[in-house]
Amino acid sequence: MADSALHSPPLHTGQEIEFDRAKIRRDMIIRRIGKVGMAFNPIFAYFFLWAPIIILVVFSFNNAETVSVWRGFTTQWYQNIFTNALSAGTESARFSTEIMLTSVGNSLFVALVTTIISTVIGTMVAMSLVRGNFPGKSVMDAVLYLPVVIPEITQAISLAVFFRIVFDFVNNANDGLRAAPGFGTIIIGHVAFCISYVTIVVRARFADMNPRLEEAARDLGANEWRTFWRVTFPLILPGVIAGGLLAFTISLDDFIVTFFVSGIGTTTLPIFVYGLLKTRVPPEINAISTLMLVASTVLVGVSLIMQGRNAGKN
Amino acid sequence: MTQQPYDVELINVIKEFASPRKDGLVRAVDDVSLQISDGEFFALLGPSGCGKTTTLRMIAGFEDTSSGQILIRGNAVQDVPPFHRPVNTVFQDYALFPHMTALQNVMFGLEMEGVSRSEAKQRATEALELVQLPQAADRKPRQLSGGMQQRVALARALVKRPAVLLLDEPLSALDLKLREDMRYELKAMQKTLGITFIFVTHDQEEAMTMADRIAVMDRGKVLQVGTPEEIYETPATMFVADFIGETNFLRGKLVGQEGQYGVIELDSATTMRAMCGENPPAKGVETTVAIRPEKLTLFPVNGQVKYPDGSFDTAEAYRTAILKDPDIEVREGTIRQAVYIGTDTRYVVGIGKDRNMELTVRLQNYGLRSDAFFEKGQAVYVFWDSENARVLTS
């Protein structure tokens, strides 16, 4: 049959194999260049990313009024922001520790309420998107990322316009009700975009979860309600916590949306800091910014740890 | 409610899914009717996608039926959610709750029934002892080996004292040695407990070893239901014969009748006899004859045949001797291939006028290998008992 083809191998037994040494040497050099390049690429990128932040942190300890030259270590600026004393040349009318702490309190209040509302709604949406089966599900799935993708300024303006329309409607009704921007509008604005983040994080957790576990619970006699609380919820909890912390961080940091929808007496920390910057950049700004950086980093870090926890399991 | 003869009964059950392209319906389970008696170990056997798992999931209540009825102990259960059905499932991947210990997993079902904590704990501990895992009670599933996880899953289902235990490919995730041990253990456990087991598998050996009865499924239909012996020895269709073990298929035309056998013409010079079953084909119709490789035996055309007592005879004398049995048929052939595979040697023998019809023959290597070994190209006689050849109509 095809015996003749099988019996003529491409190499004769015992035949010597010749290597092209020059070619091998050339390829080894290319490989080495590639290896060095691989190591340097991220260094360049990370430099651009981190240099301004590192400078900010370093200069928050700089013993000089002007932010340009290093004149020794001090914690003066950190002390100032907590002792009501601002560096010379800054109009003290704009700054007081009390106002700053009030704005921090406002920020925390908004972030906390936003987190609770957006985590509950976001988790429910995630569950519907993963487990549910309804018309238009794929469209909703696709639109989920929209608030993350669209420019924040667009979102801020749209919210401002939306509230304007609502307030005009309410205030023109002549029923004695007077509506104005305030914490309500800020929280609604923050919830509006935090839901997306929570849903994305929790949905990933849901999708990782073995649907057989819920079937097993039902098989063993648990109805849907008990299945959720005894099996589903404990297993998605790390995702829910991670999503909540993410929402908290984003709400705490938010400037643009807050700026467009806030009213009188609802100044949050980012808005307050922006107010300080109007005339010049006092060194206390560096200190406040560094503290905000530390707080955010801790929150996001915990969020990442929670997302990673048990992720590889079952 | 009067006592029903069957623990689980499926009556004309159909399950249709929307097709992946959403342009119609796909029938996963096509008009399946089954009767499973109390205390039976019943296997649903078939290739992947044959509808066996969907059938099991409908009994468990995870899937609705499109039409037909499912009765558990005589009660129609189509409208009963899984958590109210007296059945429990051992899942293929065990589906143990990862955030609970083994003991908590086993206790879960009892807590859902409202059993007190202390009683639940006691019964769960007993269940873990039944599966020989009392030492694993406080460990989380990820700290247990696959075999241990499976035992916990078994305990978790059995502690509920179900009327029927459903097992979805229960052994497929275990390694070979453990899988073989577990077969006998599960079988022994089922006989001790007396609970009806319904299990799904694609492994014919597993089904043959464990089950009292097997339903062979393909493309949503049940092709044959019977004991392992019935399924193996008298397969109803070509699919069953092919899926369970190895089979030779020979194409031919029915040309006559000889006693209980139909005579099939394989080529112009070769015929063979075969059992025709209940619906014999009409004369002249193309049919298929099936015969298992281990039912065939070989001896050389030239040379001697050695008897068990050590004496020798010529091949011709041997041939004359065996043909005294009217059920025996002998055909001449040529060895095309010989492969030594340990316990036996697998030969491919060409028979017929042009030696182009292939028969696989398996001979056990019980004697000295040199006694029973044939070489490629050697002329041989193949013989068999005609009772072992069967005409298959579909």
- Of B48-62, B127-141, B265-279, the least confident: B265-279
Are A223 and B83 within 8 A, CB to CB? yes
Residue B281: what pLDDT? Answer: 78
For residue B392, give every residue at least 6 positions away whose Cβ sits within 8 Å of its Cβ, in sequence order, or none: B235, B236, B237, B238, B241, B249, B287, B288, B289, B290
Between residues B94 and A69, the one the model is more confident about: B94
Handedness of CA A184, A188, A190, A191 (dihedral sign): positive
What's the pLDDT band for B87 if we cut at 50, 70, 90? very high
Chain A residues in contact with chain B using a Cβ-Cβ cutoff of 8 Å: 210, 212-213, 215-223, 226, 230-231, 234-235, 310, 313-314
Q: What is the dihedral of CA B155, B157, B162, B164, to 10 degrees?
A: -110
Residue A117: what pLDDT? Answer: 97
Please provide the CATH number assigned to the domain covering B293-385.
2.40.50.100
Q: How far apart are CA B173 and CA A127, in angstroms?
A: 29
Are B83 and A219 within 8 A, CB to CB? yes
Residue B53's closest CA among A222, A212, A220? A212
Residue B150: what pLDDT? Answer: 93
Task: Tell me the mean pLDDT in the region A106-114.
Answer: 94
Q: How far away is chain B from the Cα of A215, in angstroms, using its nearest Cα?
A: 7
Longest dimension (CA), chain A: 103
The token duo for B257 is 């009748």
Are B108 and A222 within 8 A, CB to CB? yes
With H, G, I as helix, E, B as strand and everything else as coil, classify residue A154: helix
Q: Which H helix or E strand runs over B15?
A: strand B6-18
Of B88, B98, B141, the CB nearest to A220: B88
* Burial group, residue B295, by CB count within 10 angstroms (0-12, 13-18, 19+): middle
Between residues A4 and B124, the one the model is more confident about: B124
For an interface test with A, which of B17, B97, B142, B143 has the most A Cβ atoms less than 10 Å from its Cβ? B97
The percentage of chain B sitting over the pLDDT mark of 90, rounded to a whole number, equals 65
Residue B1: what pLDDT? Answer: 45
The token duo for B69 is 């009825």
What's the pLDDT band for B117 if we cut at 50, 70, 90? very high
pLDDT of A264 strictly over 90: no
Are A217 and B108 within 8 A, CB to CB? yes
Looking at the complex, does the CB of residue B160 fall below 8 Å from at least one CB of chain A? yes
Long-range contact list for A302-309, CB < 8 A, 24+ apart?
A302/A245, A303/A241, A303/A242, A303/A243, A303/A245, A303/A246, A303/A249, A304/A242, A306/A238, A306/A239, A306/A241, A306/A242, A306/A245, A307/A201, A307/A204, A307/A205, A307/A238, A307/A239, A307/A242, A309/A238
List, for residues B362-386, the tens digit of each pLDDT value.
988 776 555 557 888 999 999 999 9
Q: Rounded mean pLDDT of chain A?
A: 84
- Mark which residues 96-135 of B lie under 8 Å from A by CB: 96-99, 108-109, 112-113
Between residues A6 and B54, the one the model is more confident about: B54
Tokens 């014919």 sit on residue: B204
Longest dimension (CA), chain B: 80
Task: Tell me the mean pLDDT in the region B148-154.
Answer: 94
Amino acid at A160: A
Chain B residue with minimum CA distance to A210:
B95
The percentage of chain A sitting over the pLDDT mark of 70, rounded to a whole number, equals 87
Residue A312: what pLDDT? Answer: 42
Between residues B50 and A6, the one the model is more confident about: B50
Q: Can you give the residue ranges of every domain in chain A?
A: 17-59, 89-308
Residue B52's closest CA among B243, B194, B230, B241? B243
- Mark which residues 16-75 of B lie under 8 Å from A by CB: 60-62
Residue A96's closest CA among A308, A307, A290, A284? A284
DSSP B39: T
Q: How far away is chain A from the Cα of B183, in angstroms, using its nearest Cα?
A: 23
Chain B residue with minimum CA distance to A238:
B99
Are B160 and A231 within 8 A, CB to CB? no
Highest mean pLDDT among A48-62, B100-114, B245-259: B100-114
For an interface test with B, which of A208, A213, A220, A235 has the most B Cβ atoms less than 10 Å from its Cβ? A220
The percentage of chain B sitting over the pLDDT mark of 70, rounded to a whole number, equals 97
- Of A32-46, A116-130, B57-71, B138-152, the least confident: A32-46
Are A218 and B108 within 8 A, CB to CB? no
Tokens 């499973």 sit on residue: B36
Q: How far apart are CA B321 and CA B188, in angstroms?
A: 45
* Burial group, residue A32, by CB count within 10 angstroms (0-12, 13-18, 19+): exposed
What's the pLDDT band for B60 if we cut at 50, 70, 90? very high
Q: Which H helix or E strand runs over A156?
A: helix A152-171
Handedness of CA B64, B67, B70, B74 (dihedral sign): positive
**Contact (CB, 8 A) for B243 and B46:** yes
Q: Can you give the residue ranges of every domain in chain B?
A: 6-238, 247-291, 293-385
**Contact (CB, 8 A) for A110 and A122:** no
Tokens 């200069």 sit on residue: A59
Between residues A85 and A17, the one the model is more confident about: A17
pLDDT of A5 strictly over 60: no
Are B109 and A212 within 8 A, CB to CB? no
Are B95 and A215 within 8 A, CB to CB? yes
Could you write out the DSSP letters of every residue in A85-118?
PPPTTS-GGG--HHHHHHHHHHHHHHHHHHHHHH
CATH class of A89-308: mainly alpha
Using an 8 Å CB-CB cutoff, list chain B residues near A223.
81, 83
List, for residues B102-114, the tens digit of each pLDDT value.
999 999 999 999 9
Phi, psi of B4 (to 5 degrees): -95, 150
Q: What fold characterizes domain B6-238? A: Rossmann fold (3.40.50)
**Contact (CB, 8 A) for B90 and A228:** no
Residue B232: what pLDDT? Answer: 94
Of B98, B112, B141, the CB nearest to A222: B112
- Of A47-56, A213-222, B355-364, the least confident: A47-56
Are A313 and B142 within 8 A, CB to CB? yes
Are A218 and B91 within 8 A, CB to CB? no
Of B61, B95, B99, the CB nearest to A216: B95
Q: Rounded mean pLDDT of chain B?
A: 90
Residue A169: how many CB atoms within 10 A of its CB? 10
pLDDT of B90 strictly over 80: yes
Residue B223: what pLDDT? Answer: 95
List, for residues B21-30, the tens digit of each pLDDT value.
777 888 999 9
Using an 8 Å CB-CB cutoff, list chain A residues near B156.
216, 220
pLDDT of A84 strictly over 80: no
For an interface test with B, which of A1, A209, A219 has the most B Cβ atoms less than 10 Å from its Cβ? A219
Residue A113: what pLDDT? Answer: 97
Residue B28: what pLDDT? Answer: 93
CATH architecture of B247-291: Roll (2.30)
Q: Are strands B357-364 and B261-267 parallel, antiparallel or unpaired?
A: unpaired
Residue B24: what pLDDT? Answer: 83
Residue A85: what pLDDT? Answer: 65
Are B97 and A231 within 8 A, CB to CB? yes
pLDDT of B59 strictly over 90: yes
Paired residues of A149 in beta bridges: none
Are B156 and A220 within 8 A, CB to CB? yes
pTM value? Answer: 0.80
**Contact (CB, 8 A) for A299 and A245:** yes
What's the pLDDT band for A313 if we cut at 50, 70, 90? very low
- Of A182-186, B250-254, B258-262, B309-313, the least confident: B309-313
What's the pLDDT band for B129 if we cut at 50, 70, 90? very high
pLDDT of B347 strictly over 70: yes
Tokens 């079937």 sit on residue: A215
What's the pLDDT band for B315 if we cut at 50, 70, 90? confident
Q: Rg of chain B's alpha carbons, rounded to an integer?
A: 26
Chain B residue with minimum CA distance to A314:
B98
Amino acid at B161: R
**Contact (CB, 8 A) for A224 and B82:** no
- Of B157-161, B278-282, B293-297, B333-337, the least confident: B278-282
**Contact (CB, 8 A) for B301 and B332:** yes
What's the pLDDT band for A13 if we cut at 50, 70, 90? low
Q: How far apart are CA A220 and CA B336, in angstroms?
A: 57
